[in-house]
């Protein structure tokens, strides 16, 4: 029996409406720490979003 892998928000802090979507591969900058984000559509880098428990796109609480 194969172990089920949890894919929910792992390494990808996004709300349900933003999770799994495609984003422009243009780097943006995190409003929290100033580090580059994976996409210019993101407000926060994944580290800050995880720390705050928010979607990195719309800042909705996760």
Interface positions with Zn ion (CB under 5 A): 15, 18, 30, 32-33, 35, 45, 48, 55, 57-58, 60
Q: Which is nearer to Zn ion, 3 or 8 (CB)?
A: 8
Return the HEC string of 1-62: CCCCCCCCCCCCCCCCCCCCCCCCCCCEECCCCCCEECCCCCCCCHHHHHHHCECCCCCCEC
Shortest distance (Å) from residue 5 CB to Zn ion: 23
Shortest distance (Å) from residue 2 CB to Zn ion: 31
Q: Which is nearer to Zn ion, 6 or 59 (CB)?
A: 59
């Amino acid at each position: 029996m194969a172990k089920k892998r949890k894919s929910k928000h792992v390494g990808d802090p996004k709300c349900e409406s933003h999770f799994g979507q495609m984003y422009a591969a243009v780097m943006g900058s995190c409003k929290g720490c100033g580090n580059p984000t994976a996409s210019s559509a993101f407000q926060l880098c994944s580290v800050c979003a995880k720390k705050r428990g928010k979607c990195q796109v719309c800042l909705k609480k996760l």
